[in-house]
A = this chain, B = another copy of it.
Amino acid sequence: MTETDQLLDFFLATDRLKHIARENRVLDGSRHETVAEHCWHVTLLALTLADAAPAGTDIDHVVNLLTIHDLVEVYAGDTVIWWEADEAEVAAREQEAADRLFAQLPDSARPRFAELNAEFMAQETVEARFARALDALHPLLMTWGTRGAGHVRKDLTVERIVAKKQPLIGPFPALWALAEQVIAEAVARGLLALS
């Protein structure tokens, strides 16, 4: 197999993300969002909310991290934040999926993807953390971001949302302020209970 064929096979394998439905819906609620759509939209969110990142954050790098951040789902599928899954188990499954996917790449391209993915998973750089915060914020905007509309979620409460999302989004005050605004509006409209 030529290097070009390896690149092509890797790339075509990622088409799978157009067939995986996320838990959240698109903005008008008409259907679930695909993982591929989320990946694009959250990179656009990075460009939109770039000023919410700490000074010196490399936004281009955040965009790259978000472009690849869900590739592991090609083989590992989506893990919903409310499932209370074992985090270590999820991380192990996602690492296995990453290794399997990136093994299809030629040596010339593998490090580029493996390093971006490892950086996102390790959550040590400010770029990886800001990317993860946007990733956690995005479904809140999709569900309740429309002032006056939004979906009722009887299975969730503010208490549960804050417990899950604040550790991820909280370190970036402008992002967390936006999350709190969206959550408060959902409560005011009776779409979401406090506890």
Contact = CB atoms under 8 A, between A and B. Distances in A.
Interface of A: 4-5, 7-8, 10-12, 14-15, 17-19, 26-28, 33-34, 36-37, 39-41, 43-45, 47-51, 60-61, 63-64, 67-68, 71, 108-109, 112-113, 141-142, 145-147, 174, 177-178, 181
Contacts of A37: 18, 34, 36-37, 40
Contact of A8 (B34, B71, B145): B145
Given A39-B40, A51-B109, A63-B60, A45 B145 contact: no
Nearest to A106: B51
A10 B145 contact: no
A21 to B, nearest CB: 12
A112 B19 CA distance: 32
Nearest to A61: B60
A4 B181 contact: yes
Contact of A64 (B18, B63, B68): B63
B67 A44 contact: yes
Question: What 7 A-B pairs have minimum CB-CB distances, sorted nearest first?
Answer: A40-B40, A60-B60, A15-B27, A36-B37, A39-B40, A18-B26, A11-B48
